[in-house]
Amino acid sequence: MTDSFVFKGRAWVVGDDIDTDMIYHGSYLPLTDPQEMAKHALEYVPGMEDFTDRVQPGDILVAGRNFGSGSSREHAVITLQYNDVAAIVAESFSRIFYRNAVNLGFPILEVAGVTRAVETGDELEVDANTGRICNLTKGTEVQGTPLSGLEKEIMTSGGLFNFLKKDMQTAE
Amino acid sequence: MGQTFAQKVLARKAGLREVEPGQIVTVQPDKLLTHDNTAAIARIFREIGVEKVARPEISVIVLDHVVPAATEGHARNHQQIREFVREQGIASFYDVGEGICHQVLPEKGHALPGYLIVGSDSHTPTHGAFGAFAAGIGRTEAAAVMATGEIWLMVPHTFRISIEGQLQKEVYAKDIILYIIGELGADGADYRAVEFTGPVVGELTVASRMVLCNMVAEMGAKIGVAEPDDKTRAWLNGRSVAGFQEVFADPDASYERVIEYDVSGLLPQVAKPHTVDNVVPVTEVLGTRIDQAFIGTCTNGRLEDFRVAAQILGGGNIAPNTRLLILPASREVLLAAVAEGTLTELITAGAVVLNPGCGPCLGAHQGVMAPGEVTISTANRNFKGRMGCKEAQVYLASPATVAASARAGEIVDPREFL
pLDDT in tens, B251-260: 999 999 999 9
Q: Would you state the pLDDT for residue A165?
A: 80
List Cβ neighbours of B372 (8 Å cut-off, separation of 6 or more).
Answer: B391, B392
In angstroms, the separation between the Cα of residue B278 and the nearest Cα of chain A is 12
| CA pair distance A150, B24, nearest whole angstrom | 8
B68-117 pLDDT tens trace = 999 999 999 999 999 999 999 999 999 999 999 999 999 999 999 999 99
Which residue from B minimizes the CA distance to A100? Answer: B138
Q: Name the pLDDT band for B368 (thresholds 50, 70, 90).
A: very high
Longest dimension (CA), chain B: 62
Asked whether residue B265 carries a pLDDT value surpassing 90, the answer given is yes
Residue A79: what pLDDT? 97
Mean pLDDT, chain B, integer: 96
The predicted-structure confidence for B47-64, as pLDDT tens digits, reads as follows 988 899 999 999 999 999
Look at residue B417 and tell me whether its pLDDT is greater than 90.
no
Say whether B121 and A149 touch across the interface (CB within 8 A).
no
**What length is written for chain A?**
172
Q: Residue B218: pLDDT above 90?
A: yes
Structure-derived torsion over alpha carbons of residues B189, B190, B191, B195, reported in degrees to the nearest 10: 10
B46 touches chain A (CB under 8 A): no
Q: Is the pLDDT of residue B153 over 90?
A: yes
Provide the pLDDT for residue B390: 87
CA B133 – CA B117 distance, rounded (Å): 6
Q: Look at residue A171 in the predicted model and tell me its pLDDT.
A: 55
A55–chain B nearest CA distance, Å: 23
Compute the radius of gyration of chain A from its Cα atoms: 15
User: SS3 of B59, please?
Assistant: strand
Q: Which positions in chain A have a beta carbon within 8 angstroms of at least one beta carbon in chain B?
A: 16-17, 19, 21-22, 25-27, 29-30, 32, 44, 65-66, 69-72, 74, 92-96, 99-100, 103-104, 149-151, 154, 159-161, 164-165, 168
Distance CA B201, CA B213 (A): 11
**CB-based contact B95:B357 (threshold 8 Å):** no
Is there a contact between B186 and A99 if contact means CB atoms under 8 Å apart? no
Are A95 and B275 an interchain contact pair (Cβ–Cβ within 8 Å)?
Answer: no
Q: Is the dihedral of CA B389, B393, B396, B400 positive or negative?
A: negative
Q: Which residues of B touch A103 (CB under 8 A)?
A: 138, 140-141, 144
What is the average per-residue pLDDT within B323-350?
98
B140 CB neighbours in chain A (<8 A) are 74, 100, 103-104, 159-161
Instruction: Give the nearest partner residue to A26 out of B48, B220, B362, using CB atoms.
Output: B362
pLDDT in tens, chain A (172 residues): 445 689 999 999 999 999 999 999 988 988 889 999 999 999 999 999 999 999 999 999 999 999 999 999 999 999 999 999 999 999 999 999 999 999 999 999 999 999 999 999 999 999 988 999 999 999 999 999 988 888 889 988 999 988 988 776 665 4
Band of residue B37 on the pLDDT scale cut at 50, 70, 90: very high
Angle between helices B139-148 and B38-48 (to 10 degrees): 50
Gap between the Cα atoms of B188 and B55, Å rounded:
35
Candidate from B65, B141, B186 with C-beta closest to A66: B186
Domains contained in chain A, CATH given: 3-171 (3.20.19.10)
Residue A84 amino acid letter: D
- Neighbour tally for A172: CB within 10 Å: 4
pLDDT (0 to 100) of residue A97: 96
Q: How far apart are CA A56 and CA A119, in angstroms?
A: 16
What ipTM score was computed for the predicted complex, to two decimals?
Answer: 0.85
pLDDT the model gives residue A2: 46
- Go through B371-404 and write b for each residue having 16 or more CB atoms within 10 A of its CB, e for each that does not: eebbbbbbbbbbbbbbbbbbebbbbbbbbbbbbb
CB contact under 8 A, B138 and A25: no
Give the chain A residue nearest B78 (alpha carbons).
A30
- Which region holds residue A59: left if phi is over 0, alpha if psi is between -120 and 50, else beta? beta
Q: Do A70 and B383 touch (CB under 8 A)?
A: yes
Answer yes or no: do A96 and B77 touch at CB < 8 A: no
Peptide bond between residue B106 and the one before it cis (omega within 30 degrees of 0): no
Q: Which residue has the higher pLDDT, A164 or B345?
A: B345
CB B37 within 8 Å of CB B139: yes
DSSP codes of every residue in B338-407:
HHTTHHHHHHHTTEEEPPSSSGGGGTSSSSPPPTT-EEEESSS---TTTTS-TT-EEEE--HHHHHHHHH
- Cross-chain CB nearest to B364 (options A27, A65, A99): A27
Supply the pLDDT for residue A32. Answer: 85
Taking the C-alpha atoms of residue A56 and residue B177, their distance in angstroms, rounded to an integer, is 42
Q: Over the range B289-324, which residues count as b (16 or more CB within 10 Å of their CB) and which as e? A: ebbbbbbbbbbbbbbbbbbbbbbbbeeeebbeebbb
- Residues of B with Cβ-Cβ distance to A159 under 8 angstroms: 140
Supply the pLDDT for residue A1: 40
Task: Look at residue A170 in the predicted model and tell me its pLDDT.
Answer: 63
* Mean pLDDT within B261-280: 97
**CB–CB contact B222 A95 (8 Å):** yes
Write the residue in B144, B147, B363 that is nearest to A26 by C-beta: B363
Q: Verify whether the Cβ–Cβ distance B390 to A44 is below 8 Å.
A: yes
Domains of chain B, CATH where assigned: 5-261 (3.30.499.10), 272-417 (3.30.499.10)
Condensed to tens digits (0 to 9), the pLDDT of residues B177-187 reads: 999 999 999 99
pLDDT of residue A41: 97
Q: How far is B333 from chain A (nearest CA, A)?
A: 25
Helix (H, G, I), strand (E, B) or coil at B410: strand
In a 10 Å sphere around its CB, with 0-12 CB exposed, 13-18 middle and 19+ buried, how is residue B77 labelled? buried
Nearest to B370, CA basis, from B384, B352, B383, B388: B388
> Distance, in angstroms, between B133 CA and closest chain A CA?
16
